[in-house]
Chain A
């Protein structure tokens, strides 16, 4: 077995997370977290709780204030370019390049890393465009595309390099019901092993601020964590969440139920 496949995909030890836009500000403290290959983590927390910052840190876009972060055993600041390309990130809202079309956005990482011509790269991303129903928008620039489709294009862009780890920052925020359903089904396929990735299960971390729909993510093998009061609290599977005697977890579930009731009014 390949050694890197058995190593934890992400390891954080004693990590303090700074805010991406204000690095001196601490948003999370003493994070100890291990993501094993093939796991699908759901990290929930209210807005401004540090979810995006945790994901940016996990993606290697900023260093930890204290502690260390490792990808497949290598510390992120020292990670070589090949290791870095094994990590895909979908930003909240997509963060596509506005001057490029949707197809060019998706093709950019392939063009850059494999030195492909524009035509060759566009041919390479055609299956991605078709599989994600983005073909009609291929030649449109992101400002002229609805937010639902921009995030989907960002997912396609993150998958273009066939990563081993996919980080998704609040991808379902503001999506319509049809798109939410598509995302749940597609992420499930990625978790089980999609043909685009050679059938290997993809390790994923997804953040959400929608506590009322936390139970919707309940699925075999999925693991949950919450962020509150600058703490990262790993909860385990949904079954463990429901049966936990931890007062913090019970309080979270109570909040979740309240939000469900409020949203049903």
Chain B
């Protein structure tokens, strides 16, 4: 069963990539508004929630870490600690999980319902490639959304983290705090952050769309499939994260 799902997912990923590249310029007047809508849904619409999470993350995790490090006189490690914890790991993974929960589940339900109602066959009957029309906008929207939201989440968390430390009377100026973080960042962090978040978005979209679209569904099966898709989405994100840890260590 797991092998079959993995094979199906791999095949669906290749088909999606193939359509994405082969039909990149086709039906732009139809695709562009759909892509804009997906970016708004997987990005802009989630911004208020992400700002809230960023502040919460900054107060709960970063602020306390900064305070603890200041107490033991280890503020010289602050920059590298923040980069490893927030920029490389927690920021991208948390952003991916939130987008998966908020938008990925909606993908499964929408596409599963469309499949159950025969809308996919209706597209095929009109000569419209369902992968091009339904999946490509979601993949682009989610990859862009996860990347952008991760950037906002990291910036918001780092800023609110310093604010918490300031409220705790930690002797650390904003200039020193951000200088340390900037000093710990390298070009590799920016490159891998972009690649990792885009990969999270791409694969979350592929996994959720695969479960909604790739097999005929009855309406009563949609909720069960949504749960399975979210579980597999989490697993895929963790595997991608593990792959990027290897890349960081190898670099």
Which residues does A use to contact B, with CB under 8 Å?
A: 20-21, 56, 59, 61, 81, 84-85, 87-89, 91, 95-98, 108-109, 111-113, 115-118, 157-158, 161
Q: How many A-B residue pairs have CB under 8 A?
A: 60
Q: Is B117 an interface residue (CB 8 A)?
A: yes
Q: Are B125 and A81 in contact, with the CB atoms below 8 A?
A: no
Expressed in whole angstroms, the Cα–Cα distance for A2 and B122 within the complex equals 30
Give the distance to chain A from B233, nearest Cβ to Cβ, in Å: 24
The number of chain B residues with a CB under 8 A from chain A is 18
Q: Is B176 an interface residue (CB 8 A)?
A: no
Contact of A108 among B117, B124, B126, B216 (CB under 8 A): B126
Expressed in whole angstroms, the Cα–Cα distance for A98 and B26 within the complex equals 24
Which residues does B use to contact A, with CB under 8 Å?
A: 26-30, 33, 117-119, 121-122, 124-128, 133, 216
Q: Which residues on B sit within 8 Å (CB–CB) of A98?
A: 117, 119
Interface of B is mostly: helix
Q: A21-B216, A115-B29 are in contact. Are A91 and B127 (CB under 8 A)?
A: no
Q: Are B127 and A113 in contact, with the CB atoms below 8 A?
A: yes
Give the distance to chain A from B164, nearest Cβ to Cβ, in Å: 44
Expressed in whole angstroms, the Cα–Cα distance for A210 and B117 within the complex equals 24
Give the distance to chain B from A23, nearest Cβ to Cβ, in Å: 9
Expressed in whole angstroms, the Cα–Cα distance for A216 and B32 within the complex equals 48
Q: Which residues on A sit within 8 Å (CB–CB) of B124?
A: 61
Residue of B nearest to A160 (CB): B126
Excluding A98-B119, A158-B126, 9 further A-B contacts by CB distance (< 8 Å) are A21-B216, A85-B127, A88-B125, A89-B125, A95-B119, A97-B119, A109-B126, A109-B127, A113-B127
Q: Are A56 and B121 in contact, with the CB atoms below 8 A?
A: yes
Expressed in whole angstroms, the Cα–Cα distance for A88 and B127 within the complex equals 9
Closest 10 CB pairs of A and B: A89-B125, A95-B122, A109-B126, A95-B118, A85-B127, A84-B127, A112-B27, A111-B30, A112-B30, A112-B128
Give the distance to chain A from B95, nearest Cβ to Cβ, in Å: 27
Expressed in whole angstroms, the Cα–Cα distance for A59 and B118 within the complex equals 14
Q: Are A81 and B127 in contact, with the CB atoms below 8 A?
A: yes
Contact of B128 among A21, A96, A109 (CB under 8 A): A109
Q: Which residues on B sit within 8 Å (CB–CB) of A97?
A: 119, 122
Q: Are A161 and B118 in contact, with the CB atoms below 8 A?
A: no
